[in-house]
Amino acid sequence: MTVAQDTADTPRAVVLFSGGLDSTTCLAEAAADGCECHALSFDYGQRHTAEIEAARRIAAAMPHVADHKCVTIDFDGMGGSALTDPAIDVPETATNGIPPTYVPARNTVFLSIALGWAEILEAEAIYIGVNAVDYSGYPDCRPAFIQAFESLASLATRAAVETGRGVAVRTPLMELSKAEIVQRGAALGVDYADTVTCYQADAEGRACGRCDACRLRRQGFRDAGIADPTRYR
Amino acid sequence: MTVAQDTADTPRAVVLFSGGLDSTTCLAEAAADGCECHALSFDYGQRHTAEIEAARRIAAAMPHVADHKCVTIDFDGMGGSALTDPAIDVPETATNGIPPTYVPARNTVFLSIALGWAEILEAEAIYIGVNAVDYSGYPDCRPAFIQAFESLASLATRAAVETGRGVAVRTPLMELSKAEIVQRGAALGVDYADTVTCYQADAEGRACGRCDACRLRRQGFRDAGIADPTRYR
């Protein structure tokens, strides 16, 4: 695929991209919207090198992805989540309320850094793959949170002050079920074989098949009627 | 100094703390407000080891500081500021508008990580030493920005969702001139000798005396009628 319009007219977007099912679909949505995509990953102690390598391969293989950065954050032992604190177990049965895999203020941090990069790139939008399935559990996946961040962005940057232009936060998956996300991604040509969703993937990026994220993903393929290409260990 | 009330009743605060004049005064203000202070510094490629060591010494010497973390962020070459991009010069004469030392979305990023730590600590407030002198230049030092972040925080965390409690963002220096900040800090017993404000301090933490930050600081001591203990090179 090539970008149809002149590069100068192509809107730029920063796309939060973990290499998982949702964010890979979100990246495909941003490309389908005609954006020049700048994929942004984070390594905050949660990821195996194999997952970051997989994210790099996926981003490199997708059309309209101009570049991909991976920001590393060392929280100096703050802990607070099963994803970053070895003392907290990742649950393997369904949990009520906000699960222990919740990372305090994670999307606020991710969106903030995306905002900085968007300002540098003069990007007009940030894409984030939050959706209705997640927002039942995570506070920072809700539409009200996203709207509040957009309001903040309209005050936070040089561009906002000098030109009145803020940055739009787009959530193309917000209203979709996991099955609809899979169907939408498949229609956009996404290859999910390399995407890693599992909270505790092994060093080769193979999924456990038991954590919350694995269960939601597996059910999504089943409900979508699409063969699950996930590599389980 | 010891904390008068029972530890269980002492409110906790996360204090953004660079080891500079403003944030050191802000830390003293949080302590004077009766908070158990958790100082938070950032190393995003802008700082000499000497400055981080100085920040550690200052935090360790101040009363009511329970701990001090330094979060390291590697932006993977995003650039965009004279403080992180060697290709952009730090100006040594006054600039109009937002100066090149502006780091895109910096306070949004800092406050977001402070919010995550505040959630882990069950802290009730975040202190940030923004002030009127800065907000003429930096968009993310203005009262409207701080208020927007507080609104975001009221939606972003587990505590906000489960109990309706947000986190207050306190800006005790907002309305003060640099001279008033110095006077206030001196009254609170702050020793400014070890604080580093300079944008281009040398490896021993000695100030250039010429950059915007040095000029404002020097003038602050002069206007306050207090001897300037800054180590210039």
10 Å CB burial of residue B208 (0-12, 13-18, 19+) is: middle
Looking at the DSSP bridge assignments, the partners of residue A52 are none
Segment B15-25 shows an average pLDDT of 95
Query: Residue A4 above 60 pLDDT?
Result: no
- Higher per-residue pLDDT: A210 or A90: A210
What is the reported pLDDT for A5? Answer: 45
What is the reported pLDDT for A173? Answer: 96
The residues in A 56-75 lying below 8 A from B, measured between CB atoms, are 69-75
Q: Which residues of B touch A139 (CB under 8 A)?
A: 155-158, 160-161
Q: How far is A217 from A81, CA to CA, in rounded Å?
A: 21
Query: Residue A233 above 50 pLDDT?
Result: yes
CATH code of the domain occupying B9-224: 3.40.50.620
What is the reported pLDDT for B102? Answer: 66
Which contiguous run of DSSP H or E holds residue B72? Answer: strand B65-74
10 Å CB burial of residue B229 (0-12, 13-18, 19+) is: exposed
Output DSSP code: residue B232.
B
Per-residue confidence band for B100, with pLDDT thresholds at 50, 70 and 90: low
| Structure-block tokens of residue A142 | 């809700």
Find the angle CA(B86)-CA(B91)-CA(B95) to the nearest 5 degrees. 135
Q: How far is B167 from B117, CA to CA, in rounded Å?
A: 11
Q: Which residues of A touch B158 (CB under 8 A)?
A: 98, 102, 104, 139
3-state helix, strand, coil in chain B (%, to 5): 40, 15, 45
B113–A105 C-beta distance less than 8 A: yes
B158–A139 C-beta distance less than 8 A: yes
Which contiguous run of DSSP H or E holds residue B121? Answer: helix B106-121
| Structure-block tokens of residue B228 | 């300037």
- Which chain B residue has its CA at the smallest distance from A154's CA? B145
- For residue B141, give the nearest of B110, B185, B180, B183 by alpha carbon: B110
Q: What contacts A46, CB < 8 A, 6 or more positions away?
A: A83, A84, A103
Q: Find the distance separating the first CA and the last CA of chain B, reported in whole Å.
A: 34
Query: Binding residue per annotation — A72?
Result: no
Q: Could you tell me the residue ranges of all domains in chain A?
A: 8-224
Specify the residue for token string 């060392």.
A74
Residue A105 forms contact with B (CB below 8 Å): yes
- Higher per-residue pLDDT: A221 or B99: A221
Segment B18-29 shows an average pLDDT of 95
A97–B78 C-beta distance less than 8 A: no
The proportion of chain A whose per-residue pLDDT surpasses 90, expressed as a percent, equals 60
Condensed to tens digits (0 to 9), the pLDDT of residues A113-170 reads: 999 999 999 999 999 999 866 555 678 888 999 999 999 999 998 888 888 778 999 9
Domain A8-224, architecture per CATH: 3-Layer(aba) Sandwich (3.40)
Query: Residue B134 above 80 pLDDT?
Result: no
What is the reported pLDDT for B51? Answer: 80
| Structure-block tokens of residue B92 | 């040594």
pTM for this structure?
0.89
What is the reported pLDDT for B91? Answer: 66
Q: How far is A111 from A132, CA to CA, in rounded Å?
A: 18
Reading across the β-sheet that carries B36-43, which strands appear in turn?
Answer: A168-170, A125-127, A12-16, A36-43, A65-74, B65-74, B36-43, B12-16, B125-127, B168-170
- For residue B130, give the nearest of B122, B121, B118, B140 by alpha carbon: B140
Segment A193-197 shows an average pLDDT of 89
| Structure-block tokens of residue B38 | 């958790």
- Higher per-residue pLDDT: B101 or A197: A197
What is the reported pLDDT for A85? Answer: 66
Query: Residue A38 above 80 pLDDT?
Result: yes
Roughly what angle, to the nearest 10 degrees, separates helices B21-32 and B178-187?
50
